Structure 1
């Protein structure tokens, strides 16, 4: 008994017990990570098997045999098909690639491209499944996070998009100042969209504060006020850079315009050009053209609108806050174009 007591009190015994506990913890952690890896692999394989696919795409199997690194080439080929509008062929290539690799990292890389293609092609549910599975395996994948946020926006699920930005902000220390500004703009944009659909008593007040905090949302929020609170629309109409708001101001009738508010505003030029008020020379070339047609010519003219993205310079017939070409958030530049109004005769079909 004394010998056992001495062994128990021996410092080497305590060290041996400590080493044994450390070994058990390391072993337990190893098996836990191994189990998680297996579960991830199983989850990934389940997702892959859920897609309908009829065997190898023609010629790819032979290419896989002779190429040491086929992924970049085949992804480029798939993107070329997608760019040409042949989404079905591009999807076949991605699905074939997934079947050929056991390496999880390569599968994730391909699934990422496949999810982006599904998003562009309009297969939103499959894109969502892809993105969520990838983020389950790699929560710090910023590219997939941004695409998932874009998908939520398309679905109108602005609350989920707003919440998903928290995951992006966890990586904020790794971002540049420009990237931080983009995240802030996205957060304010989704907050505005959430407020548009809410019935909170202080909704208008919060939107007015948001205009002051995030000037890029000024036009978007004014569009909401125009439909739901015209008084706030006129009160928050800017005097600086107002030409980019001409499309919002265009379709007001004379009775809807509060002269007491806009009589000292430069935007009154638009209504002078349309002949609502006594005419005077307009500083804007296109409005001056419209004014001259209205006051001095028997020909009738109007203005047509188009919108240019400041990032990719793409031109579009409709105004959106997210560019449909490059995906960047921000105000599109308004383009004005004088257009002749053609008089059309109504002919009876009888």
Structure 2
């Protein structure tokens, strides 16, 4: 016994013992990590099974997956998404995600899948996908924004506002987004009186001038007098379509006749009888006004709406771009057209 005990005090024995313990810890850690990875993959497969749909015309159940298929399939899915065939894109994304092992690529495709669900209008499914991504990668800024969009479209504005705090933590400038959500919640509030809404809208405009177009449009529906008080003659371009389609009963002639651009707009529209002396600075308006002065009164304006971020053009106005979901990115483009003949036909 006396000969054995000194071995425990041998420095070489201590080093060997430390090495053995380190190896054991490494093996256990590796085995645990492998187990966790397999469990995560199993959980992800179970999660994705909820989104399988028999409605898709693409049968991928018996299609063997090869690594070289990854890029062509993702391009095909994106092409389907861009053409509006969302069900086909979704089916392909689900198939790829279930068959690839690369975790970063899998998360990127999960994000595309969520985005496809969002554009297709499957908001609850998009919410589930984004939540699953954030469970694994809570610092994903793009997905945080997209989850906020989903909550906003579901009119869950309090939930959407909860996204602001983590974005602030990630050093994102969320002032405009915060005011945009405040405005959206205010507009949808059925409990506030019209005068209370009007005052709140003017306060938001003071705090975030970028929301000018939305606030003017909403105010004109609530309180015409309050709306004309905030209409800025220097920002008529932003609301030219809204002003063009205003009925005669909502015009403030004192404000209109004191501004050359507004006077030209409503002379070209046919609401004013006297042509302004100065030009408005808008080519289409000045051309219509000149034509009307010459006796041609069948001119009209057509409007299209450009997203200044993704450069997509749309026939109707938007608060968020339908393509890239940007806010405050709409640019109004006007062009001269021949007025459609008015009829007295009714559907009722």
TM-score (norm 2): 0.75
Give the Cα–Cα distance (whole angstroms) in 1 for the partners of residues 143 and 235 of structure 2.
Answer: 36
Aligned CA distance change for structure 1 residues 79 and 275 (closer, same or farther; 3 Å): closer
Matched, 1:63 2:58: no
Structure 1: unaligned runs, 5 residues or longer: 1-25
Which of 228-237 and 51-60 deviates more? Answer: 51-60
- Residue 48 of structure 2: aligned partner: 48
SS at match of 1:335: strand
Q: How far has the Cα of 1:125 moved from its partner?
A: 2.1
SS at match of 2:66: helix
Give the Cα–Cα distance (whole angstroms) in 2 for the partners of residues 130 and 38 of structure 1.
Answer: 20
Aligned pairs for 1:30-49 (under 5 A) are: 43-49=43-49
- Residue 269 of structure 1: aligned partner: 264
Which of 276, 281, 284 in structure 2 is aligned with 1:280?
276
- Residue 304 of structure 1: aligned partner: 302
Q: How far has the Cα of 1:203 moved from its partner?
A: 3.6
Give the Cα–Cα distance (whole angstroms) in 1 for the partners of residues 44 and 213 of structure 2.
Answer: 43
Report if the CA contact (8 A) 1:135-1:144 is conserved: yes
Report if the CA contact (8 A) 1:301-1:338 is conserved: yes
Moved over 6 A (4+): 33-39, 344-347
Give the Cα–Cα distance (whole angstroms) in 1 for the partners of residues 332 and 74 of structure 2.
Answer: 37
Which of 217, 221, 225 in structure 1 is aligned with 2:219?
225
Give the Cα–Cα distance (whole angstroms) in 2 for the partners of residues 104 and 343 of structure 1.
Answer: 60
Q: Deviations over 1:144-174 (max 9, x none)?
A: 11221222233233332222222222211xx
- Residue 129 of structure 2: aligned partner: 130
Q: How far has the Cα of 1:53 moved from its partner?
A: 5.7
Give the Cα–Cα distance (whole angstroms) in 1 for the partners of residues 302 and 102 of structure 2.
Answer: 54
Aligned CA distance change for structure 1 residues 95 and 226 (closer, same or farther; 3 Å): same
Question: In angstroms, what is the RMSD of aligned CA positions?
Answer: 3.4
Aligned CA distance change for structure 1 residues 346 and 145 (closer, same or farther; 3 Å): closer
SS at match of 1:52: coil
Structure 2: unaligned runs, 5 residues or longer: 1-24
Q: How far has the Cα of 1:229 moved from its partner?
A: 1.2
Which of 212-221 and 257-266 deviates more? Answer: 257-266
Which of 308-317 and 213-222 deviates more? Answer: 308-317
Q: How far has the Cα of 1:234 moved from its partner?
A: 0.6
- Residue 83 of structure 1: aligned partner: 82
Give the Cα–Cα distance (whole angstroms) in 2 for the partners of residues 279 and 343 of structure 1.
Answer: 24
Q: Deviations over 1:69-109 (max 9, x none)?
A: x6455433322332344433332322222332467655433
Report if the CA contact (8 A) 2:52-2:91 is conserved: no
SS at match of 1:302: strand
Give the Cα–Cα distance (whole angstroms) in 1 for the partners of residues 109 and 324 of structure 2.
Answer: 21
SS at match of 1:333: strand
TM-score (norm 1): 0.75
